[in-house]
A and B are shown apart, each in its own frame.
Chain A
Amino acid sequence: MIRLSQINKSYLSGEGELHILRDVDLQVERGEFVSIMGSSGSGKSTLLNVLGILDSYDSGEYHLGGRLIKNLSEREAARYRNRFIGFVFQAFNLLSFKTAAENVALPLYYQGVPRKERDKRACAYLERVGLGSRATHLPSELSGGEKQRVAIARALITCPELILADEPTGALDTKTSYELMDLFQEVHRSGTTVVIVTHEPDIAERTERLIRMRDGRVAHESMQAAIERTPS
Chain B
Amino acid sequence: MLDGLQEIAGILRRNQLRTWLTALSVAWGMFMLTLLLGAGRGLENGVAHEFRDQAVNTIWVSSGQVSMPYQGRGVGRDVFFQNGDLEAIAAMVPGIDQISAHFYLWGEFQVRVGEKHSAFDIRGVHPGFRAIERTDMKRGRYLNERDVAEKRKVAVIGSAVREALFGERDAIGQRIEIRGLSYVVIGEFTDAGGEGELRKIYIPISTTQAVYGDPRRIHNVAFTLSSLDLEQSRVTAEAARRIVAKRHGVSPQDMRAVRANNDLEEFRRVTEVFSWIAVFVWVVGIGTLLAGLVGVGNIMLIAVAERTREIGIRKSLGATPFSIVSMILVEATIITALSGYLGLVAGVGVVEFVAREAGDLPFLREPRVDLSVALGAAVLLIVAGALAGLFPATRAAKVDPIVALREGG
* Inter-subunit contact B313/A110 (CB<8 Å): no
* Inter-subunit contact A54/B314 (CB<8 Å): no
Could you jot down 7 A-B contacts, CB within 8 Å?
A49-B402, A81-B315, A93-B309, A110-B319, A110-B320, A114-B3, A171-B409
Note all chain B residues with C-beta closer than 8 A to A55: 402
Q: Which residues of A contact B (CB under 8 A)?
A: 49, 52, 54-55, 74-75, 78-79, 81-83, 87, 89-91, 93-95, 97-98, 106-107, 109-111, 114-115, 154, 158, 171
The docked-state distance in angstroms from the alpha carbon of A54 to that of B314 is 12
Note all chain A residues with C-beta closer than 8 A to B321: 74-75, 78
* Inter-subunit contact A107/B318 (CB<8 Å): yes
Starting from the known contacts A83-B318, A91-B405, A91-B409, 4 additional A-B residue pairs (CB-CB under 8 Å) come to: A81-B318, A87-B316, A94-B313, A110-B320
| Contact among A54, A83, A114, A158 with B316 in the assembled complex (CB-CB below 8 Å) | A54
Note all chain B residues with C-beta closer than 8 A to A154: 317
* Inter-subunit contact B3/A95 (CB<8 Å): no
| Contact among A97, A111, A114 with B318 in the assembled complex (CB-CB below 8 Å) | A111
Note all chain B residues with C-beta closer than 8 A to A98: 10
Note all chain B residues with C-beta closer than 8 A to A91: 405, 408-409
* Inter-subunit contact B3/A115 (CB<8 Å): yes
* Inter-subunit contact B320/A78 (CB<8 Å): yes
The docked-state distance in angstroms from the alpha carbon of A52 to that of B313 is 13
* Inter-subunit contact A52/B316 (CB<8 Å): yes
Note all chain B residues with C-beta closer than 8 A to A49: 402
Check B144 for interface membership: any CB of A closer than 8 A: no
The docked-state distance in angstroms from the alpha carbon of A175 to that of B341 is 56
Minimum distance in angstroms from A61 CB to a CB of chain B: 21
Note all chain B residues with C-beta closer than 8 A to A94: 313
Pair count A-B, CB < 8 A? 64
* Inter-subunit contact B401/A54 (CB<8 Å): yes
Quick one: which of B6, B312, B318, B397 has the most chain A CB within 10 A? B318
The docked-state distance in angstroms from the alpha carbon of A106 to that of B312 is 13
Check B146 for interface membership: any CB of A closer than 8 A: no
Q: Considering only CB atoms, which chain B residue lies closest to A114 in the complex? A: B3
Note all chain B residues with C-beta closer than 8 A to A89: 405
Minimum distance in angstroms from A133 CB to a CB of chain B: 23
* Inter-subunit contact A82/B408 (CB<8 Å): no
Note all chain B residues with C-beta closer than 8 A to A107: 317-318
* Inter-subunit contact B317/A97 (CB<8 Å): no
Q: Considering only CB atoms, which chain A residue lies closest to B10 in the complex? A: A97
* Inter-subunit contact B319/A95 (CB<8 Å): no
Q: Considering only CB atoms, which chain B residue lies closest to A112 in the complex? A: B3
Check B7 for interface membership: any CB of A closer than 8 A: yes
Note all chain A residues with C-beta closer than 8 A to B275: none
Note all chain A residues with C-beta closer than 8 A to B253: none
| Contact among B14, B323, B409 with A110 in the assembled complex (CB-CB below 8 Å) | B323
Minimum distance in angstroms from A23 CB to a CB of chain B: 22
The docked-state distance in angstroms from the alpha carbon of A154 to that of B314 is 12
Note all chain B residues with C-beta closer than 8 A to A75: 320-322
* Inter-subunit contact B318/A82 (CB<8 Å): yes
* Inter-subunit contact B14/A97 (CB<8 Å): yes
Check B265 for interface membership: any CB of A closer than 8 A: no
- Of all A-B residue pairs in the complex, the 6 with the closest CB atoms, nearest first, are A82-B318, A110-B318, A78-B320, A97-B14, A107-B317, A93-B313
* Inter-subunit contact A81/B316 (CB<8 Å): yes
* Inter-subunit contact B405/A93 (CB<8 Å): yes
* Inter-subunit contact A81/B317 (CB<8 Å): yes
Note all chain A residues with C-beta closer than 8 A to B401: 54
Q: Considering only CB atoms, which chain B residue lies closest to A84 in the complex? A: B318
Within 327-382 of B, Cβ neighbours of A (below 8 Å) are at: none
Could you give, for residues 1-32 of chain B, a 1 whenever the CB lies within 8 Å of some chain A CB and a 0 otherwise? 00100110011001000000000000000000
* Inter-subunit contact A106/B317 (CB<8 Å): yes
Note all chain B residues with C-beta closer than 8 A to A171: 409
Check B53 for interface membership: any CB of A closer than 8 A: no
Q: Considering only CB atoms, which chain B residue lies closest to A170 in the complex? A: B409
Q: Considering only CB atoms, which chain B residue lies closest to A86 in the complex? A: B317
Check B133 for interface membership: any CB of A closer than 8 A: no
Note all chain A residues with C-beta closer than 8 A to B310: 95
Note all chain B residues with C-beta closer than 8 A to A54: 316, 401-402
Q: Considering only CB atoms, which chain A residue lies closest to B2 in the complex? A: A115
Minimum distance in angstroms from A177 CB to a CB of chain B: 17
Given A74-B321, A91-B408 in contact, is the A109-B316 Cβ separation under 8 Å? no
Given A93-B405, A97-B14 in contact, is the A109-B320 Cβ separation under 8 Å? no
Minimum distance in angstroms from B197 CB to a CB of chain A: 70
* Inter-subunit contact B320/A79 (CB<8 Å): yes
| Contact among A52, A74, A83, A109 with B3 in the assembled complex (CB-CB below 8 Å) | A109
Quick one: which of A79, A83, A93 has the most chain B CB within 10 A? A93
The docked-state distance in angstroms from the alpha carbon of A229 to that of B38 is 77
The docked-state distance in angstroms from the alpha carbon of A157 to that of B402 is 22
Note all chain A residues with C-beta closer than 8 A to B315: 78, 81
* Inter-subunit contact B318/A93 (CB<8 Å): no
The docked-state distance in angstroms from the alpha carbon of A78 to that of B397 is 12
Note all chain A residues with C-beta closer than 8 A to B405: 89, 91, 93
Minimum distance in angstroms from A84 CB to a CB of chain B: 10
Minimum distance in angstroms from A199 CB to a CB of chain B: 16
Note all chain A residues with C-beta closer than 8 A to B312: 93
Q: Considering only CB atoms, which chain A residue lies closest to B323 in the complex? A: A110
Given A49-B402, A109-B3, A109-B7 in contact, is the A87-B14 Cβ separation under 8 Å? no
Note all chain A residues with C-beta closer than 8 A to B10: 97-98
The docked-state distance in angstroms from the alpha carbon of A54 to that of B6 is 28
Minimum distance in angstroms from A77 CB to a CB of chain B: 9
Given A49-B402, A79-B320, A91-B409 in contact, is the A106-B14 Cβ separation under 8 Å? no
Quick one: which of A74, A75, A111, A114 has the most chain B CB within 10 A? A74
Q: Considering only CB atoms, which chain A residue lies closest to B404 in the complex? A: A93
The docked-state distance in angstroms from the alpha carbon of A81 to that of B323 is 15
